[in-house]
Chains A and B, each alone.
Chain A
Amino acid sequence: MRKEAAVRFSGVSFAYGSTPVLEDVDLTIGAQQMVCLVGPNGGGKTTLLRLALGLIEPRRGCVEVCGLPPARGRRRIGYMPQQIDFDAQFPITVREVVAMGRLNGARPGFLSRRDRAVVDEVLAEVDLDGVARAPFGSLSGGQRQRALIARALAVEPEILFLDEPTAMVDARSEARLLAKLRDLHSRLTIVMVSHDAAFVANLVEKVVCVNRRVSVHPAQELTHGMIHELYGDSMKAVLHDHDAGNVSGHRHG
């Protein structure tokens, strides 16, 4: 039986004011696929995620998450945003950040016993149980990244969105993250934004190039020169072979 698409964009266009960011995007991400969005800054990668999360509305076209409008389907998504957006001085512990994943709408009150168990479990899963009571702002870049991944996992999602999971992460943390994502892939659909094409090439089969339009490619070795030609950017290791396979999309350029 055909599995329902996890995320589907049909003829989607979006603009910030008069500046077009995405044009006529058709993209389907199947259930339990691991997909990476790559492309230059301002190309529309994060905008694609935000559209799927229902945080912004498309000017044209339709977005679906698990067959539902984003506002209804997004409860099934665990989202790790770029950590640069956070106030490091906000008085909040690592455990409290992760516990935000267990928020349930406007329901008043505090965490249930099950919520607490899930929070403990995901903290242990990302090896942060030792610093659970430390202030979030006191963590290193890599630890914060893992805390935000734990928060996304605390949702118990069907789909995981990771926006720049390797930014500010050292080589050791990157290797651990790689292993973690491989493990998660067995049970989740994973969509990530990354500039680190070497990291991506080792992890995903398909790469979605986003630069106002999208095109889908298998991830293989690619030279600097070819990437530079496509994006004018210093991406490292993705081969653009226009075999869309299970992931479908339009070529750009």
Chain B
Amino acid sequence: MAELRAILVDSEFVFVRYAFIMGVCASVAFGMVGSLVVARRVTYVAGAVSHAVLAGIGAAVFAQRSYGWLWFDPLFGAVLAACVAALLLGLARFAATEREDSVIGAIWSVGVAVGLLFFAAAPGYTDPMSYLFGNILLIGVRDLWLVLALDAVIIALTVLFYPQLKAVCFDEDFARLRGVPVRMAYTLLLLLIALTVVLLISIVGMVLVVALMTLPAAAAGRFTRSLWQMMALASVFCLVFVTGGLVLSFRADLPTGPTIILVAGAGYALALSVRSVARIFAPQAQ
């Protein structure tokens, strides 16, 4: 702990400070939206959006290098692609006659293909590794502000519309009867997932997004009885997993994304074990 504190105030390791601030702040959004994803059982939606994001990143890289559109940051491209993917998924659910899982599969793989083609067409070489597996240590101060703004939007929308989101996740029909605009609320949920995916990609990359979105929430679900409790505990777990993974990767000189995911996986396994042991020793109901 003392070592981490020393690193955080050391001006030579300013990138670690940024990574830490981002991990701490973003954990709240991850915990909140991850809990909605786990409770509503839409992990596959997060998977599709995270992969579709590569199309936006690829388009931004291509536009920057081919047309000199330097303002078109890959992060903007990612937000754009994630939101388009979310809206398409919403359309597939409510308007199209096509099976939802087929649309999810199409968005998932077409997004990756488009992204890779943009990378190939862009002048110069692009290493997709940092997008695929993330590198929180590459985050600059501008990225940090953008990511914190996204974080604030996600938290504000989730808190503001918590009753509607919960109702739509638990019982869509009843929510509709109570006047909740169900399509709008479900689309809001998809957009929240999309924005959270973009946040997560900066930390663990698109391939590992689903794990960091679901493992803290799934672990929290073992110890909580309501959605808001799950969100709170998942945020704490996410904070522990991200900072734990960050410290471990820094000390052992390992890639940050995979290390964070392994810590999260170990945390989830521990949560399952603790719960199972507690159940074995719990007094039996007569």
* A residues whose Cβ falls under 8 Å from a Cβ of B: 53-55, 74-75, 77, 79, 81, 85-87, 89-93, 96-97, 100-101, 103-106, 108-111, 133-135, 151, 155
Contact = CB atoms under 8 A, between A and B. Distances in A.
Contacts of B171: 81, 85-86, 100
A45 to B, nearest CB: 16
A74 B177 CA distance: 6
B179 interface: yes
Contact of A103 (B163, B169, B229): B163
Contact of B178 (A75, A85, A91): A75
Say what secondary structure dominates the interface of chain B. Answer: helix
Given A106-B180, A108-B160, A110-B163, A100 B175 contact: yes
A142 to B, nearest CB: 16
Given A55-B176, A75-B179, A135 B225 contact: yes
Contacts of A89: 221
Main secondary structure of the interface of A (DSSP, over half): loop
Assign chain B's interface to a size class: 20 to 34
B101 interface: no
B84 interface: no
Contacts of A79: 173-174, 177
Given A91-B226, A106-B164, A135-B225, A100 B179 contact: no
A163 to B, nearest CB: 11
Contacts of A97: 170
Nearest to B184: A106
A148 to B, nearest CB: 9
B184 A91 contact: no
A101 B178 CA distance: 7
A104 B181 CA distance: 10
B177 A92 contact: no
19 contacts: A53-B177, A54-B176, A55-B173, A55-B176, A77-B177, A79-B177, A90-B169, A91-B35, A91-B225, A91-B227, A92-B170, A96-B226, A100-B163, A100-B166, A103-B178, A105-B179, A134-B225, A135-B225, A155-B178
B65 interface: no
A91 B174 contact: no
Given A90-B170, A96-B227, A105-B179, 18 more contacts: A54-B176, A55-B173, A79-B173, A81-B171, A87-B170, A89-B221, A91-B224, A91-B225, A92-B170, A100-B163, A100-B170, A100-B171, A103-B180, A108-B164, A133-B225, A134-B225, A151-B174, A155-B178
B260 interface: no
Contacts of B163: 100, 103, 109-111
B275 interface: no
B161 to A, nearest CB: 6
Contacts of A109: 160, 163
Nearest to B226: A93
A65 to B, nearest CB: 11
B206 interface: no
Contacts of A101: 178
A69 B185 CA distance: 23
Contacts of A105: 178-181
Interface in B152-192: 160-164, 166-167, 169-171, 173-181, 184-185
A134 B221 CA distance: 14
Nearest to A77: B177
Contact of B174 (A87, A100, A104): A100
Nearest to B217: A91
Contacts of A133: 225
